[in-house]
């Protein structure tokens, strides 16, 4: 009788569990989240302010981290945002260069780009980089 009650208790404990995604390794700010970096874990409950991200959402859209995520932390919807590719294409005659970032300033001599890590890059129209 005792064995049966212990087995039923274990089964019922897993029945109430919630499936959440947990980070296997640290995820850096603005890095694209891949399913290889996450693992599925069952927990009894989550914090009231955390709505766990679903695996189906992750498969349907690309997400990027909105802040640094520690190893072992549950991935909430507020921790990620939908990835929007920001790239700039330069045409130097027959040569085309694509860089990630957004254009801040442009004139006849050079173009200033703000990269995703926050640094500003200056590219001259003749191809020099400063």
pLDDT tens digits, 11-70: 666 666 788 899 999 999 888 898 898 998 888 877 888 888 888 888 899 999 999 999
* Among 116, 111, 119, 118, residue whose Cα is nearest residue 90: 111
What pLDDT shows up at residue 39?
92
Q: Can you give the residue range of the structural domain that contains 45?
A: 2-82
How many Cβ atoms from other residues are within 10 Å of residue 50's Cβ?
A: 15
Q: Decide if 96 is inside a domain.
A: yes
Q: Decide if 130 is inside a domain.
A: no
Domain with residue 43: its CATH number is: 3.90.1210.10
User: Which residues, listed in sequence order, are joined to residue 4 by a DSSP beta bridge?
Assistant: none
Q: Decide if 31 is inside a domain.
A: yes
Q: Tell me, yes or no, whether 22 and 67 share the same domain.
A: yes
Q: Tell me, yes or no, whether 13 and 77 share the same domain.
A: yes
What pLDDT shows up at residue 8?
64
Q: Tell me, yes or no, whether 73 and 95 share the same domain.
A: no
Q: Tell me, yes or no, whether 28 and 59 share the same domain.
A: yes
Q: Tell me, yes or no, whether 43 and 106 share the same domain.
A: no
Structure tokens at 113: 């780009």
In 16-114, where does DSSP find H-type helix? Answer: 55-60
Alpha carbon distance 120, 23 (integer Å): 31
Q: Tell me, yes or no, whether 16 and 72 share the same domain.
A: yes
pLDDT band of residue 71 (cuts 50, 70, 90) is very high
Alpha carbon distance 101, 108 (integer Å): 20
Alpha carbon distance 50, 74 (integer Å): 9
Number of domains forming the structure of the chain: 2
């Amino acid at each position: 009788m005792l064995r049966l009650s212990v087995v039923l208790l274990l089964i019922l404990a897993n029945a109430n569990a919630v499936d959440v995604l947990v980070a296997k390794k640290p995820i850096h700010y603005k890095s694209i989240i891949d399913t290889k970096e996450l693992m599925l874990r069952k927990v009894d409950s989550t914090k009231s302010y955390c709505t766990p991200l679903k695996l189906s959402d992750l498969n349907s859209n690309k997400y990027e981290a909105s802040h640094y995520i520690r190893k072992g932390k549950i991935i909430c919807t507020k921790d990620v945002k939908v990835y929007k590719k920001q790239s700039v294409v330069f045409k130097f005659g027959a040569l085309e260069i694509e860089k990630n970032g957004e254009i801040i300033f442009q004139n006849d001599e050079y173009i200033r780009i703000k990269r995703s890590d926050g640094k500003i890059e200056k590219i001259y129209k003749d191809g020099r980089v400063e």
